[in-house]
Structure 1
């Protein structure tokens, strides 16, 4: 039967074990059980009730577009902020996105895959991870193309500042935010805060009314956040004076009255972002892209952001989302994200999960669920504890899949699940039955015989070479990922040495699978220290392999096409590497002239037609 504490933990969906780096189940401590129960709002003296077995039901199916019923498509994945152009303000923006849509169409691609576009902390722009947003229901105003906003006026002084911002190799988020928000405030003041013209028949006031309290609370948070940061309290609400840490107190009401125009300004920023992203979605449709925009959804939100401040009772605030120890992060990971309470996530007519999902689907032909394991469970780490003190907590998979099915049908938006890492048993089968595409990365598709052959990839999947958390294929070939983990102390030296040895075998295995697939003879493939020209040949050959798979979608990472040396993100680092800041080495205007871009596009057209 187990102890009473074990019974109570199981009743509230807490797993009694977790995996170790050696894939052995390790019991979680009684202290962890107590801490996670407390984070879920369960007193240790609560009554233990018998677990009720729910009757199994048919798994609801998410939407699959007609183009994928028989055909296969490919597209380009990128980080919007990394784009360079002759006109942007030091960060890729929604107008650059339209430029990429036109390029994709000319190359024969059918979608553009993007990083999460969720709202960050405008008062702390260097908190720039798109996977630790302030609010997943709101958009990032830094992606607004200010020069396309009605009422914008250029100046020589501004031109000089923008040239400097464009020339940096890393996005200067502080500089970008300063110049963009100043210019947008000037436009706002010129309209006197009230006479805002409609765009395409939709008025600003209509947008405010349709967006409801979530928009109002987010704008109030942004205004308060800026005010608190100016007073050295920090942009996140956990550092604010206690009277401002909840949205319903008298001091907050007094602030809202005094700063009404500023709050309306932040609502306007959301409207502009909404209108420009809608325009980009329409541009994808007009260009004939069969899927259009493919948006990414982060697995959680910042512990001290607008979402947790505005909907306090919806979130778990005494534990954070992370992952247990594994071979590539031997001490586990704490992602510092707030999880929605499993009892709240699917409840109500407009549930938190439904609102979050539809906030992206309204613009997208596809969405990717980051860390799809969260549909069934999340690993929660008690505050101020290490990840090896965490535990898995169950989530209502059946209800979440139903929400996804309903929303995807409403918006005709397919769903992709990032089903990587340590997955609960049977989840991949459930996702496949739900019509949710599996997410297959080349370097992960291995078994005891080496890399899996092309025909082993499931049809209902998205296949790719690399993602934002990986080095490019050329970097992987050189072992840059292993070197980075060692350099930043993520993996101890003995394990790192093992990884170096393994990589030698992996390179040979990749040569073999490319040879069997007929993409390139093995003697034509490069050595570990090969020249760029030979590495480019490898990159094209590997993309031909991926294009040959039955996967209905193939995503070609723009950084692989341009041969970027700087990784987008090194998981497990924070201050030691400028994550989410590196720009591409090639501007949008010059991409069409990059030989590898044309070669890979040609391979995709040839193999996917």
Structure 2
């Protein structure tokens, strides 16, 4: 009897494995050291169930297999192809039936049927066998940097909230970004990379990470600057060395309400005209923000905590709320307008000042599970799963970001409409786009809700379709695409983005040779962005002085088998390796002397063969602290640090001016 039960269980497990494979859930994966890892069967079952395919019994699995087969027989909502290439028809469309005079029906083998090539990229309506769908025809690749500007380009990466102006404010806004663009354009920069400006939660200031947005389609209204669009300026408010988001955001909202209350009918009519082209989705965002502001004050942390009647965006209660609170909804429409049009003005100024790219926007990998995207687009989002990463160099213990994203099924069923809208929202007001954790175009590490990163598995995404849609939208916007490709790379990913003319990221700390030394500037790939660091890595000054080791020691983040003394010894060795590559033969500075190292690092990425060089503002200013420490929330002041003075003063300081000149001269040379 026991043997029979074991055999039955073994049969079910095999069926679970087969179902997971059919759903694109990988049972095995390889870690950063190349060791094969196997996902637990319980985790596979949980992930399959969250995807809508229960797998806890033989009956469940049979029903799930039949459901999957039905879905695959349905004609697609969109076919994505490449300009100039014939397009094989999917099996659901490549079917023909012939009926004889006696009524006998026979299916013809037309599996090889294809659509003829279409030369011009774009979106087309296509009717096949009575089924209407969209045909997306992508160009062979994204626009290249030489097509945008022939010279070797450089620019800073800026955390907008960290900026200061002449008038005190508790955190930076788009007016300060506008000033930063002018300052760097005058110094020869062609790009300004910015942190995500996606919509956050407007209510209480607790959810302030730019990488945990409410929506990736709409904008962070708190970044808006009325004066940038010719309206009365925000009143002065003092701010400290760290941003008190919990106090600052409600104050910013109150200040924006005061500006809104003073608008005359002509300005309101102008806002309504500008907003009209954004469609009904913008109004739903404003309704969400109005509801969130109201209900968050009563303790609701997400729409999942709202009264049930408000959880359906199409429901009667939501419509009634919007009617009764029409002025509140109008306020949030104003705030969206302020951010959207403000970004547009900054980008227009960048191009008018001669920048080859202008703003390099940032697309977060996912959204908050309680945000507006998850509220309005439930049918296309992952439910019961969050996304993260297995252990890698940026997160040695693995990460669960507590975010959600589009589901592969949802994308296919919607004809990729939400992905296209997300890309378009970013590219219409920027000259380029960095795709955070671009591996998510190929696969995402998904974790059952409430689980640890170790409970997860990789879920496959329609890589070729998503890549082609990026190319098509970049073509339409004539924009540069940067793929954040740090971490454990999927097989074939690097070759695919290179063929698509996306720039990979080559960050100083990770560019090592086989002997663990740092590679020379001549070894950087031309089709890449050379960087001294990112918001997630130590600054050059912080690395050289060991400030990152201080944080690791304080937060007990060293590897389990390592001590502080061992890490110090390893860092001292690495200092020698770095300086031997970037020091041009000069004597090696002491650990407490980071200034010459920062300048040498900037010269190093300036000399790199990469077509674009980006230096975080923290490195241009030789700061020791980094904006964000991955894997922490409150333990480190993530996204709270501010600059010590207005940016023009900081850039005019002789030491900073010399560092910028070093980078700019290296790019010219």
TM-score with structure 2 length normalisation?
Answer: 0.83
Task: Choose which of 354, 358, 374 in structure 2 pairs with 1:292.
Answer: 358
Task: Choose which of 549, 552, 563 in structure 1 pairs with 2:608.
Answer: 549
User: Where does structure 2 lack aligned partners over 5 or more consecutive residues?
Assistant: 1-10, 56-60, 74-78, 86-138
Q: Which residue of 2 aligns with 1:571?
A: 630
Q: Deviations over 1:185-229 (max 9, x none)?
A: 22322337x65356xxxx322333211122111111110111112
Q: Does residue 37 of the first structure (1) align with residue 35 of the second (2)?
A: no
Equivalent position SS for 1:211: coil
Q: 1:151, 1:585 → 2: CA distance?
A: 28
Q: 1:69, 1:25 → 2: CA distance?
A: 44
Equivalent position SS for 1:316: coil
Larger radius of gyration: 2
Is the CA contact (8 Å cut-off) linking 2:598 and 2:622 kept in structure 1? no
Task: Choose which of 247, 256, 268 in structure 2 pairs with 1:184.
Answer: 256
Q: Which residue of 2 aligns with 1:381?
A: 447
Q: Deviations over 1:517-555 (max 9, x none)?
A: xxx3241x3122x23xxx211111111111111100000
Q: 1:418, 1:499 → 2: CA distance?
A: 27
Shift of 1:346: 5.5
Q: How does 1:216-295 map to 2 (within 5 A)?
A: 216-234=283-301, 236-295=302-361
Shift of 1:147: 4.0
Which one is further off, 41-50 or 381-390?
41-50
Q: 1:348, 1:26 → 2: CA distance?
A: 34
Q: Which residue of 2 aligns with 1:115?
A: 195
- CA shift in 2, pair 1:428/1:350, >3 Å: closer
TM-score with structure 1 length normalisation?
Answer: 0.91
Which one is further off, 94-103 or 301-310?
94-103
Task: Choose which of 361, 372, 375 in structure 2 pairs with 1:306.
Answer: 372
Q: 1:410, 1:56 → 2: CA distance?
A: 16
Is the CA contact (8 Å cut-off) linking 2:380 and 2:414 kept in structure 1? no
Q: Which residue of 2 aligns with 1:196?
A: 267
Equivalent position SS for 2:382: strand
Q: Deviations over 1:549-575 (max 9, x none)?
A: 110000021111212233201111112
Shift of 1:141: 1.1
Q: Deviations over 1:224-246 (max 9, x none)?
A: 11111222223x11222222222
Is the CA contact (8 Å cut-off) linking 2:394 and 2:630 kept in structure 1? no
- CA shift in 2, pair 1:377/1:386, >3 Å: same
Q: 2:518, 2:144 → 1: CA distance?
A: 28
Q: 1:305, 1:55 → 2: CA distance?
A: 29
Which one is further off, 456-465 or 473-482?
473-482
Q: Deviations over 1:145-194 (max 9, x none)?
A: 2344555277xxx54xx1x22xx0012223332332222222322337x6
Q: Which residue of 1 aligns with 2:247?
A: 175
Q: Does residue 506 of the first structure (1) align with residue 524 of the second (2)?
A: no
Q: Which residue of 1 aligns with 2:172?
A: 92
Q: Does residue 462 of the first structure (1) align with residue 529 of the second (2)?
A: yes
Q: 1:56, 1:3 → 2: CA distance?
A: 35
Q: Which residue of 2 aligns with 1:430?
A: 496
Q: Which residue of 2 aligns with 1:17?
A: 28
Q: Does residue 128 of the first structure (1) align with residue 208 of the second (2)?
A: yes
Is the CA contact (8 Å cut-off) linking 1:293 and 1:365 kept in structure 2? yes
Equivalent position SS for 1:574: coil
Q: Which residue of 1 aligns with 2:656?
A: 597
Is the CA contact (8 Å cut-off) linking 1:35 and 1:382 kept in structure 2? yes
Which one is further off, 391-400 or 344-353?
344-353
Is the CA contact (8 Å cut-off) linking 2:606 and 2:613 kept in structure 1? yes
Task: Choose which of 388, 397, 403 in structure 1 pairs with 2:469.
Answer: 403
Shift of 1:21: 6.5
Q: Deviations over 1:246-292 (max 9, x none)?
A: 21223222212211111111011111111111111111011111111
Equivalent position SS for 1:506: helix
Q: 1:223, 1:370 → 2: CA distance?
A: 29
Is the CA contact (8 Å cut-off) linking 1:344 and 1:352 kept in structure 2? no
Equivalent position SS for 2:561: helix
Greater length-normalized contact order (CA 8 Å, ≥ 6 residues apart): 1
Q: Does residue 319 of the first structure (1) align with residue 385 of the second (2)?
A: yes
Q: 2:54, 2:299 → 1: CA distance?
A: 36
Shift of 1:378: 0.2
Q: Does residue 561 of the first structure (1) align with residue 620 of the second (2)?
A: yes
Q: 1:101, 1:279 → 2: CA distance?
A: 11
User: Where does structure 1 lack aligned partners over 5 or more consecutive residues?
Assistant: none
Aligned-residue RMSD, C-alpha: 2.4
Q: 1:21, 1:605 → 2: CA distance?
A: 35
Q: How does 1:141-180 map to 2 (within 5 A)?
A: 141-148=221-228, 150-152=230-232, 158-159=235-236, 162=237, 164-165=238-239, 168-180=240-252
Q: 1:273, 1:207 → 2: CA distance?
A: 12
Which one is further off, 378-387 or 88-97?
88-97
Runs of 4+ in structure 1 deviating by more than 6 angstroms, as ranges, are 48-52, 54-59
Is the CA contact (8 Å cut-off) linking 2:183 and 2:648 kept in structure 1? no
